[in-house]
Each structure stands twice: as structure tokens, then as C-alpha cells.
Amino acid sequence: MLNKYARAFFTRVLTPFAAFLIRRGVSPDTVTLIGTAGVVAGALVFYPRGEFFWGTIVITLFVFSDLVDGNMARQLGRSSRWGAFLDSTLDRVADGAIFGGFALWYAGNGDDNVLCAVSIFCLASGQVVSYTKARGEAIGLPVAVNGLVERAERLVISLVAAGFAGLHKFGVPGIQYLLPVALWIVAVGSLVTLVQRVVTVRRESAEAEEAARLDTGSEAAK
């Protein structure tokens, strides 16, 4: 849902900014690299210290680069396999830094081994969810399922909760519990999404093999 509607909205909003960068001679790959570096810095500098509000502000400013670089590439007519590969690869790096930052906080001053483990599970499951689709498509299957919690949902749920949880340091009572709730939601949602994709790949694989068997039988009959 977020990929379908929110991405389209922000793409329209960010188009003038993308055009401005193009006029300044900035390349889409540069935007991708700077955006990822900003997200990683925001996550690993602020989150392990429990500075969730300011960390989320920094990350949010840079996370939109994921939309800007693609917009620039389309305006330039330079969409390429390399650009898609770089963007997808660095997305995984950024996601790992965000959930790694949460894990470092709970392993340290946050002092909660369970939530540290949940954060690590969110990190790992997010990578595996992405891999299942990429691997399924690599072996020629459509992987025609999005799943309950994709990357956009994982980021929005986690970052919004972290940002609000950070308001606890400004005197807002009880709001710090939003982040643990969000991490559990992302963990469960990612597990459901992983199961959905594995089941879909298994079904599509069986259908493809059956279709190939029937085609082979038809050819042999001729």
C-alpha cells in the first residue's frame, strides 16, 4: 500500500528537487551514496545513545534519497541495471544500520536482551524477505506476492515509533514504549511476509515444473 500510494505522492513532490540536482551536475549514483551514508550515520551515531528523536530526523532527511535518485535517473533517461543494483544493495545497508542501531541501544544502555534479539531478528528477516523475492525472480519465477510488511512498511513503522519514543527525553510520559511495540510488529509482520513469499515461490515453482513436464510430453507425442 505504501509503495503504491506514498511513493507516487512523494515522487511528484520531489521531482523539482531532482531536477535542481540534475542542473547542478549531480549524478543519481552520488545521491544514492550520500543518502545511504546519511542514514547509516544517523542510525549508528544517535540510536545507540538512545537519541531516537534526532536520529529519526536525520534518517528521514536522507531516506528520501531513495526516491530522488530514481527520479533523477528517469528524468535523465539513464535507468540502468547498475543503478538498480547499487540502489537495492545500499538499501540493505541502510536497513541493517537502522535495526543495528536499535540492537546496540538495547544491548547497551537500553539493557533489554529480548528487545535486542527482536531488533536483530528484524534486521535479519528484512534481508531474507528481500532475498526471497530476488532469488525467486532470478530463477525465472514472478513471485507474485508483496506480503504483509515490505521495506516501506518496516521503515515507516520503525522510524515513526522511534521518533515519537524519542520525545520521552522531552518529558512526554510513557511514549518510550512505542518503539518496543513497533519492533514486535515489524518482527511478526516480517515473519508473515517471509512465509508468504516462500509459499508463493514453492507454488510457482511447482506450477512451472508441471508446465514444463506437460510441454515435454506434448513435444514427445509429436
Residue ranges for the known binding site are: 29-32, 66, 69-70, 74, 80, 87, 91
Binding-site residues for a CDP-1,2-diacyl-sn-glycerol sit at: 29-32, 70, 74, 80
Amino acid making up residue 190: S
Residues serving a catalytic function are 91
Q: Please tell me the number of Cα atoms within 13 Å of 186 on its side-chain side.
A: 35
Closest CA to 126 of 91, 85, 162, 163: 91
Taking CA atoms, 25 is separated from 19, 39, 64, 144, in Å, by 10, 23, 19, 38
Amino acid at residue number 171: G
18 closest CA partner among 3, 28, 9, 8: 28
Positions at the binding site for Mg(2+): 66, 69, 87, 91
DSSP code of residue 44: H
Torsion sign, CA atoms 38, 44, 46, 50: positive
Which ranges of the chain would DSSP assign to H, the alpha helix?
7-23, 28-46, 52-63, 65-76, 81-107, 113-138, 151-165, 178-221
